Amino acid sequence: MNFGKSIRIFLIEGDPNGRWVCELSNWTGKAYKIPRTLVKSSSDRQELSNTGIYFLFGKKDEDGTNQVYIGEAENVLERLNQHLLSKEFWTECIVFISKDNNLNKAHIKYLENRIYSLAKDANRYRLVNANTPTQSSLSESDGAEMEEFIENAKLLMSVLGHKVLEPAISNHNIQENNDYYSIRAARGADAKGKPVADGFAVTKGSTVAVHVVSSMPSSLKKLRNKLISEGAIDENYRFTEDRIFSSPSLAATIVMGRNANGRTEWKNKDGQTLKSVETEP
Protein backbone atom coordinates (compact mmCIF):
# COMPACT_ATOMS: atom_id res chain seq x y z
CA MET A 1 0.00 0.00 0.00
CA ASN A 2 1.35 3.42 -0.95
CA PHE A 3 1.14 6.39 1.40
CA GLY A 4 1.49 10.11 0.75
CA LYS A 5 4.95 11.61 1.16
CA SER A 6 6.04 15.05 2.28
CA ILE A 7 9.17 16.36 0.54
CA ARG A 8 10.98 19.60 1.39
CA ILE A 9 13.04 21.28 -1.35
CA PHE A 10 15.31 24.23 -0.58
CA LEU A 11 16.96 26.28 -3.33
CA ILE A 12 20.23 27.39 -1.77
CA GLU A 13 20.75 30.31 -4.15
CA GLY A 14 17.02 30.95 -4.58
CA ASP A 15 17.51 29.95 -8.22
CA PRO A 16 16.14 26.76 -9.85
CA ASN A 17 19.39 26.57 -11.86
CA GLY A 18 21.43 26.59 -8.67
CA ARG A 19 21.92 24.07 -5.89
CA TRP A 20 19.00 22.16 -4.40
CA VAL A 21 18.63 20.38 -1.07
CA CYS A 22 15.88 17.75 -0.93
CA GLU A 23 14.62 16.01 2.22
CA LEU A 24 11.94 13.40 2.82
CA SER A 25 9.87 13.53 5.99
CA ASN A 26 10.88 11.04 8.70
CA TRP A 27 14.11 10.03 6.91
CA THR A 28 17.67 10.74 7.98
CA GLY A 29 18.91 10.85 4.39
CA LYS A 30 19.35 14.01 2.37
CA ALA A 31 19.87 14.71 -1.32
CA TYR A 32 21.84 17.52 -2.95
CA LYS A 33 21.45 18.48 -6.61
CA ILE A 34 24.50 20.49 -7.70
CA PRO A 35 25.38 21.89 -11.14
CA ARG A 36 28.97 21.13 -12.14
CA THR A 37 29.67 24.88 -12.21
CA LEU A 38 28.85 25.15 -8.47
CA VAL A 39 30.79 22.18 -7.12
CA LYS A 40 33.77 24.41 -6.29
CA SER A 41 31.44 26.72 -4.38
CA SER A 42 30.01 23.91 -2.26
CA SER A 43 32.67 23.96 0.46
CA ASP A 44 30.14 26.07 2.37
CA ARG A 45 28.06 22.89 2.90
CA GLN A 46 30.08 21.07 5.52
CA GLU A 47 27.94 17.91 5.40
CA LEU A 48 29.00 17.31 1.78
CA SER A 49 32.32 16.18 3.26
CA ASN A 50 30.45 13.24 4.80
CA THR A 51 30.36 9.68 3.49
CA GLY A 52 27.83 9.21 0.69
CA ILE A 53 26.80 7.97 -2.73
CA TYR A 54 26.72 10.21 -5.81
CA PHE A 55 25.59 10.32 -9.44
CA LEU A 56 27.23 12.31 -12.25
CA PHE A 57 24.80 13.12 -15.08
CA GLY A 58 25.49 14.25 -18.63
CA LYS A 59 24.77 13.53 -22.28
CA LYS A 60 26.77 11.81 -25.00
CA ASP A 61 27.96 14.42 -27.49
CA GLU A 62 27.25 12.35 -30.60
CA ASP A 63 23.56 11.63 -30.07
CA GLY A 64 22.43 13.23 -26.80
CA THR A 65 22.11 9.88 -24.99
CA ASN A 66 21.69 10.30 -21.23
CA GLN A 67 24.77 9.11 -19.32
CA VAL A 68 25.46 8.52 -15.64
CA TYR A 69 28.40 7.60 -13.47
CA ILE A 70 27.61 6.13 -10.03
CA GLY A 71 30.16 6.30 -7.24
CA GLU A 72 30.76 6.39 -3.50
CA ALA A 73 33.19 8.29 -1.29
CA GLU A 74 34.03 8.81 2.35
CA ASN A 75 34.36 12.52 1.52
CA VAL A 76 31.91 13.22 -1.29
CA LEU A 77 32.89 16.84 -1.97
CA GLU A 78 36.55 15.94 -2.25
CA ARG A 79 35.70 13.20 -4.77
CA LEU A 80 33.49 15.53 -6.82
CA ASN A 81 36.34 18.02 -7.09
CA GLN A 82 38.55 15.20 -8.37
CA HIS A 83 35.94 14.37 -11.01
CA LEU A 84 36.04 17.97 -12.25
CA LEU A 85 39.52 17.13 -13.52
CA SER A 86 39.05 13.49 -14.51
CA LYS A 87 35.57 13.31 -16.10
CA GLU A 88 34.38 15.76 -18.72
CA PHE A 89 30.93 14.44 -19.72
CA TRP A 90 28.88 15.47 -16.68
CA THR A 91 26.97 18.70 -16.12
CA GLU A 92 25.33 18.06 -12.76
CA CYS A 93 25.51 15.68 -9.84
CA ILE A 94 23.13 14.34 -7.23
CA VAL A 95 24.53 13.33 -3.84
CA PHE A 96 22.93 11.28 -1.09
CA ILE A 97 24.27 11.53 2.45
CA SER A 98 22.97 10.81 5.94
CA LYS A 99 22.10 13.83 8.07
CA ASP A 100 23.43 12.07 11.18
CA ASN A 101 26.53 10.85 9.27
CA ASN A 102 25.87 7.20 10.18
CA LEU A 103 26.88 5.76 6.79
CA ASN A 104 30.16 3.85 6.93
CA LYS A 105 32.35 2.44 4.16
CA ALA A 106 30.53 -0.92 4.12
CA HIS A 107 27.18 0.85 3.82
CA ILE A 108 28.16 2.98 0.83
CA LYS A 109 29.86 0.07 -0.98
CA TYR A 110 26.61 -1.88 -0.59
CA LEU A 111 24.59 1.11 -1.83
CA GLU A 112 26.88 1.68 -4.80
CA ASN A 113 26.59 -1.95 -5.94
CA ARG A 114 22.82 -2.16 -5.51
CA ILE A 115 22.15 1.20 -7.10
CA TYR A 116 24.42 0.37 -10.03
CA SER A 117 22.45 -2.87 -10.56
CA LEU A 118 19.13 -1.02 -10.42
CA ALA A 119 20.33 1.56 -12.96
CA LYS A 120 21.61 -1.18 -15.25
CA ASP A 121 18.31 -3.08 -15.05
CA ALA A 122 16.26 0.11 -15.60
CA ASN A 123 18.35 0.79 -18.73
CA ARG A 124 17.27 4.42 -19.03
CA TYR A 125 20.79 5.88 -18.91
CA ARG A 126 24.09 4.69 -20.35
CA LEU A 127 26.35 3.71 -17.44
CA VAL A 128 29.88 5.01 -17.90
CA ASN A 129 31.43 3.18 -14.93
CA ALA A 130 34.43 1.20 -16.15
CA ASN A 131 33.76 -1.64 -13.68
CA THR A 132 30.82 -3.09 -11.78
CA PRO A 133 31.10 -1.96 -8.14
CA THR A 134 31.79 -4.73 -5.63
CA GLN A 135 29.21 -5.36 -2.91
CA SER A 136 30.14 -5.37 0.76
CA SER A 137 28.73 -7.84 3.27
CA LEU A 138 26.26 -6.40 5.78
CA SER A 139 24.30 -7.81 8.69
CA GLU A 140 20.64 -8.54 8.08
CA SER A 141 19.56 -5.42 9.97
CA ASP A 142 22.04 -3.13 8.20
CA GLY A 143 21.04 -4.61 4.84
CA ALA A 144 17.38 -3.85 5.56
CA GLU A 145 18.25 -0.26 6.48
CA MET A 146 20.20 0.20 3.26
CA GLU A 147 17.33 -1.20 1.18
CA GLU A 148 15.05 1.37 2.79
CA PHE A 149 17.66 4.03 2.01
CA ILE A 150 17.61 2.94 -1.65
CA GLU A 151 13.82 3.13 -1.88
CA ASN A 152 13.82 6.66 -0.51
CA ALA A 153 16.72 7.64 -2.79
CA LYS A 154 14.77 6.32 -5.80
CA LEU A 155 11.83 8.52 -4.85
CA LEU A 156 13.92 11.66 -4.42
CA MET A 157 15.91 10.93 -7.57
CA SER A 158 12.70 10.97 -9.64
CA VAL A 159 11.59 14.18 -7.93
CA LEU A 160 14.94 15.73 -8.87
CA GLY A 161 14.37 14.90 -12.53
CA HIS A 162 16.25 11.65 -13.14
CA LYS A 163 14.39 8.32 -13.42
CA VAL A 164 17.69 6.49 -13.66
CA LEU A 165 16.58 3.86 -11.12
CA GLU A 166 13.01 3.43 -12.36
CA PRO A 167 12.28 0.52 -14.75
CA ALA A 168 10.17 1.29 -17.80
CA ILE A 169 7.49 -1.13 -16.56
CA SER A 170 7.41 -2.29 -12.96
CA ASN A 171 4.83 -5.06 -13.37
CA HIS A 172 5.56 -7.68 -16.05
CA ASN A 173 2.51 -9.85 -15.30
CA ILE A 174 0.72 -8.92 -18.49
CA GLN A 175 -2.02 -11.53 -18.28
CA GLU A 176 -3.31 -10.21 -14.97
CA ASN A 177 -2.94 -6.51 -15.63
CA ASN A 178 -5.76 -4.72 -17.41
CA ASP A 179 -3.56 -1.68 -18.11
CA TYR A 180 -1.77 -3.47 -20.96
CA TYR A 181 -2.57 -3.01 -24.64
CA SER A 182 -1.56 -5.05 -27.68
CA ILE A 183 -1.06 -4.80 -31.43
CA ARG A 184 -1.15 -7.69 -33.89
CA ALA A 185 -0.60 -6.64 -37.47
CA ALA A 186 0.96 -7.51 -40.80
CA ARG A 187 4.55 -8.61 -41.36
CA GLY A 188 4.91 -10.24 -37.94
CA ALA A 189 4.09 -7.34 -35.63
CA ASP A 190 2.91 -8.70 -32.26
CA ALA A 191 3.48 -6.37 -29.33
CA LYS A 192 2.23 -5.49 -25.86
CA GLY A 193 2.67 -2.23 -24.00
CA LYS A 194 1.15 0.26 -21.62
CA PRO A 195 1.01 3.99 -20.95
CA VAL A 196 3.59 5.14 -18.40
CA ALA A 197 4.32 8.50 -16.80
CA ASP A 198 6.79 9.56 -19.47
CA GLY A 199 5.23 8.06 -22.59
CA PHE A 200 4.29 4.57 -23.75
CA ALA A 201 6.32 1.46 -22.92
CA VAL A 202 6.56 -1.56 -25.22
CA THR A 203 7.34 -4.76 -23.32
CA LYS A 204 10.36 -6.99 -23.69
CA GLY A 205 9.59 -9.89 -26.07
CA SER A 206 7.29 -7.88 -28.32
CA THR A 207 7.98 -8.31 -32.03
CA VAL A 208 8.02 -5.63 -34.70
CA ALA A 209 7.20 -5.93 -38.40
CA VAL A 210 9.99 -7.59 -40.33
CA HIS A 211 9.79 -4.98 -43.11
CA VAL A 212 8.72 -1.35 -43.16
CA VAL A 213 6.58 0.27 -45.84
CA SER A 214 8.22 2.67 -48.29
CA SER A 215 6.08 5.59 -47.10
CA MET A 216 7.38 5.38 -43.53
CA PRO A 217 9.21 8.66 -42.77
CA SER A 218 12.99 8.40 -43.05
CA SER A 219 13.48 9.74 -39.51
CA LEU A 220 11.42 6.88 -38.10
CA LYS A 221 13.21 4.34 -40.26
CA LYS A 222 16.44 5.71 -38.84
CA LEU A 223 15.14 5.33 -35.28
CA ARG A 224 14.07 1.74 -35.93
CA ASN A 225 17.46 0.92 -37.46
CA LYS A 226 19.16 2.51 -34.45
CA LEU A 227 17.17 0.27 -32.09
CA ILE A 228 18.28 -2.75 -34.12
CA SER A 229 21.94 -1.70 -34.25
CA GLU A 230 21.96 -1.06 -30.49
CA GLY A 231 20.49 -4.51 -29.80
CA ALA A 232 17.23 -3.19 -28.34
CA ILE A 233 15.56 -5.16 -31.18
CA ASP A 234 17.33 -8.44 -32.01
CA GLU A 235 17.80 -10.40 -35.25
CA ASN A 236 14.35 -11.96 -34.76
CA TYR A 237 12.80 -8.46 -34.65
CA ARG A 238 12.02 -8.92 -30.97
CA PHE A 239 12.48 -6.31 -28.25
CA THR A 240 15.24 -7.40 -25.85
CA GLU A 241 14.14 -4.93 -23.19
CA ASP A 242 11.17 -2.85 -22.09
CA ARG A 243 11.37 0.33 -24.16
CA ILE A 244 9.73 3.69 -23.55
CA PHE A 245 8.62 5.83 -26.49
CA SER A 246 7.45 9.42 -26.24
CA SER A 247 3.93 8.58 -27.43
CA PRO A 248 1.64 5.61 -28.21
CA SER A 249 1.78 6.58 -31.90
CA LEU A 250 5.57 6.47 -32.09
CA ALA A 251 5.52 3.08 -30.36
CA ALA A 252 2.87 1.77 -32.78
CA THR A 253 4.76 3.09 -35.80
CA ILE A 254 7.98 1.34 -34.79
CA VAL A 255 6.08 -1.90 -34.09
CA MET A 256 3.99 -1.86 -37.28
CA GLY A 257 6.62 -0.49 -39.66
CA ARG A 258 4.30 2.21 -40.96
CA ASN A 259 2.64 5.42 -39.86
CA ALA A 260 0.09 4.66 -37.17
CA ASN A 261 -2.26 6.35 -34.74
CA GLY A 262 -1.35 4.61 -31.52
CA ARG A 263 -4.48 5.71 -29.72
CA THR A 264 -6.58 3.65 -32.11
CA GLU A 265 -4.10 0.83 -32.85
CA TRP A 266 -3.32 -0.19 -29.26
CA LYS A 267 -6.21 -2.25 -27.81
CA ASN A 268 -6.77 -3.85 -24.42
CA LYS A 269 -7.89 -7.43 -23.78
CA ASP A 270 -11.53 -6.36 -24.25
CA GLY A 271 -10.83 -4.89 -27.68
CA GLN A 272 -11.11 -1.28 -26.52
CA THR A 273 -8.73 1.18 -28.07
CA LEU A 274 -6.49 3.32 -25.91
CA LYS A 275 -8.42 6.35 -27.13
CA SER A 276 -11.78 4.96 -26.05
CA VAL A 277 -10.44 4.03 -22.61
CA GLU A 278 -8.95 7.49 -22.11
CA THR A 279 -12.14 9.30 -23.19
CA GLU A 280 -14.79 7.11 -21.61
CA PRO A 281 -16.64 8.70 -18.66
For the segment 227-246, what is each residue's pLDDT rounded down to a tens digit? 999 899 999 999 999 999 99
Residue 167's pLDDT band, with cuts at 50, 70 and 90, is confident
Is residue 186 located within the same domain as residue 150?
Answer: no
- Identify the domain boundary among 131, 159, 187: 159
Cβ atoms of 69 and 50 within 8 Å: the answer is no
Q: How many structural domains is the chain composed of?
A: 2
Residue 256 has pLDDT above 50, yes or no: yes
Q: Which DSSP letter does residue 92 get?
A: E
pTM score of the predicted model:
0.80
Out of 99-103, 167-171, 232-236, least confident range: 167-171
- Residues whose CB falls within 8 Å of the CB of residue 19, separated by 6 or more in sequence, listed in order: 11, 12, 13, 32, 33, 34, 35, 38, 42, 45
- Of the chain, the percentage scoring pLDDT greater than 90 comes to 79
- Domain boundaries, position 203: 174-279
19: pLDDT confidence band, cut at 50, 70 and 90? Answer: very high
Tally of CB atoms within 10 A around 40: 11
Mean pLDDT across 18-44: 95
Q: Please identify, among 112, 128, 159, the residue that sits at the C-terminal boundary of a domain.
A: 159
Distance, in Å, from the CA atom of 154 to the CA atom of 170, rounded to the nearest integer, reads 13
* Same structural domain, 155 and 211: no
Beta-carbon contacts of residue 255 (< 8 Å; ≥ 6 apart): 183, 185, 189, 191, 202, 206, 208, 209
The residue that leads in pLDDT, 155 or 174, is 155
CA distances from 9 to 3, 15, 32, 98, 155 (A): 19, 12, 10, 16, 13
Whether residues 61 and 133 fall in one domain: yes
Mean pLDDT for 207-224 is 94
Q: Are residues 142 and 211 in the same domain?
A: no
pLDDT at 174 over 50: no
- Does the pLDDT of residue 85 top 70, yes or no? yes
Q: Quick one: pLDDT band at residue 176, thresholds 50, 70, 90?
A: very low
Q: How far is CA 209 from the centre of its chain?
A: 27
Q: What is the mean pLDDT of residues 246-266?
A: 95
pLDDT recorded at residue 175: 41
Q: Are residues 141 and 222 in the same domain?
A: no
Domain end point (choices 129, 159, 189): 159
Instruction: Specify the pLDDT at position 101.
Output: 84
pLDDT of residue 1: 58
Q: Which pLDDT score is estimated for 170?
A: 65
Report if residue 1 sits inside a domain: no
